[in-house]
Structure 1
Amino acid sequence: MNNIIIIGYSGHAYVVVETFESMGKKVIGYFDTEEKLQNPYSLKYLGIENQNNIEILLKNYDYFIAIGDNYIREKVYEKLSFKEKFAQAIHTKSIISKTVQMGQGILVAANVTINAQTRIGEGVICNTNSVIEHECILKNFCHIAPSATLCGNVEIGFRSFIGANSVVKQGVKIGDDVIVGAGSVVLKDIPNHSKVVGNPLRFL
């Protein structure tokens, strides 16, 4: 289906809209908590995302949750029916191995590289210029920020965030709900619910 509805419409959504455009798809409207004064893509406001009419529209259109916050993105997804209509936004300027497994609702932005035998869950964001090397596992609703690098066999837990320009060493396992600050170098496993930053890495 070439027409897409997005849920959420702010800065992250602009990347999503242009990613769909690269695929030859058109975003025709958006749901959000309010109509946006700033509407650079002239999208139609369709109402608040918890209104009953969202379910009616989603019978006829594919949709995408264009919300950068991992927790909110997951909550919105859990509320919605028609999970099979949860679109993938994969930029045509990304490089993806033919052996990669990808879940529904993922964003793969421009200039991303995803290498062999990697598995990506639902609602994951692989942001601009990030590198996900061979045999990585990215669990549902995590976010790999711009220019972050995951070396081979890295595992990223549910809803975790890997900050821009970070590097995660080969074989490292990062738990659920972890925040890795921008520019960090991660050389060892990180437990659930941790916040870490820096090089050398320190816990906050």
Structure 2
Amino acid sequence: MSLIVLCAGGHARVVIEALLSRGTRPSAVTDRDSARVGTMCGGIPITGPDEDILKMKPDQVELANGLGNRASRSSSGLSARRELFDRFAALGYKFPVITHAATVVASDASLGEGAQVMAGVIIQPAARIGRNVLVNTRAVVEHDCQVGDHCHIAPGAVLCGGVLVGEGAHVGAGAVVLSGVSLGAGAVVAAGAVITKNVEAGAFVAATGNRTS
């Protein structure tokens, strides 16, 4: 069965490297920019738009979500990544779990469909990672954390024990969420923030700890 990476951006190259580290070479990359067709992404050819996937049956191909996000004060920026995943999943296409070879994942940790665990990540016992979650480079997810579907735990972020992260939330690079804290759905934690208290759904927390809705 072939594997195709959706969207030929920077995150797609990171996904390709993770796949290559496990000995899996994608057959193609898709991108909506027709000018990029015929060029390469991470050494893999860009063959056409996402719609080309529909020419293949779901039992003929697996997909990897190569779309990243850019969070802001008003949004986690994850809606497009979620919509891409949901569109093809609803049609029966499968997204395998992707883990870079240089990761540590506890034997009883759970990774949902399409979860991506990048180089240097540590996921500890009884952690639960949802569908289409991106745990990025060198992030740490400690014991008993629960990360909802479609979240992004950015590079170097640390979730201490028992943290609950609501669906579609973004935890910024280098942020630390202390033990037992809950982040509401769609919350955005800025890079470098230290979170000591629960965060409401859709709220933004700056590096100073100030919250806005």
Q: Please, what TM-score do these two structures have when normalized by structure 2?
A: 0.88
Q: Specify the code of the residue in structure 2 equivalent to 1:20.
A: L
The CA distance in 2 between the partners of 1:174 and 1:125, in whole Å, is: 16
Quote the Cα distance in structure 1 between the aligned partners of 2:111 and 2:41. 30
CA offsets 1:87-146 (integer angstroms, 9 cap, x no match): 111011100100001101111001100000011110000000000000000000100000
Deviations 1:136-184 (A, max 9, x none): 0000010000010000000111111000010001000000111110000
- Counterpart-to-counterpart distance in 2, 1:55 and 1:40: 21
Partner SS for 2:48: coil
* Distance of 2:67 and 2:153 partners within structure 1: 14
1:82 and 2:92 equivalent? yes
**Residue type at the aligned position of 1:109:** M
Extract unaligned runs of 5+ from structure 1.
Answer: none
Deviations 1:4-38 (A, max 9, x none): 20111111111100000011101121121114386
Counterpart amino acid of residue 41 in structure 1 = G
Match of 1:18 in 2: 17
Q: How many Å separate the matches in 1 of 2:164 and 2:68?
A: 20
Alignment of 1:130-169 (within 5 A): 130-169=139-178
Cα deviation 1:43-102 (Å, max 9, x = unaligned): 2333222x2x4123343121111111321111112211224x211110111001000011
Q: State which of 100, 104, 121 in structure 2 corresponds to 1:112.
A: 121
Report how far residue 39 of structure 1 moved. 2.8
- 1:135 and 1:194 map into 2 onto residues whose CA distance is 23
Q: Secondary structure at the match of 2:167?
A: coil
- TM-score, normalising length from structure 1? 0.92
Task: Measure the CA separation in 2 of the matches of 1:114 and 1:67.
Answer: 22
Q: SS of 1:46's equivalent?
A: strand
Amino acid at match of 1:68: G
Q: Which amino acid aligns with 2:92?
A: F
Equivalent in the alignment of 1:8: 7
Contact 2:146 2:164 in 1 (8 A): yes
Tell me the secondary structure at the aligned position of residue 79 of structure 1: helix
Q: Secondary structure at the match of 2:85?
A: helix
Structure 2 counterpart of 1:63: 63
Quick one: distance in 2 between partners of 1:119 and 1:56? Answer: 34
Q: Paired residue for 2:72?
A: none
Quote the Cα distance in structure 2 between the aligned partners of 1:76 and 1:160: 17
CA–CA distance in structure 2, aligned partners of residues 203 and 156 of structure 1: 16
CA distance in 1, matches of 2:106, 2:184: 25
Shift of 1:40: 4.4
Aligned residues of 2:8 and 2:41 also touching (Cα < 8 A):
no
Q: What count of residue pairs does the alignment treat as equivalent? A: 199
Aligned to 1:64, what secondary structure does the other structure show? Answer: strand
**Matching residue's letter, 1:26:** R
CA RMSD of aligned residues (A): 1.5
> Which piece of structure 1 moves more, 158-167 or 62-71?
62-71
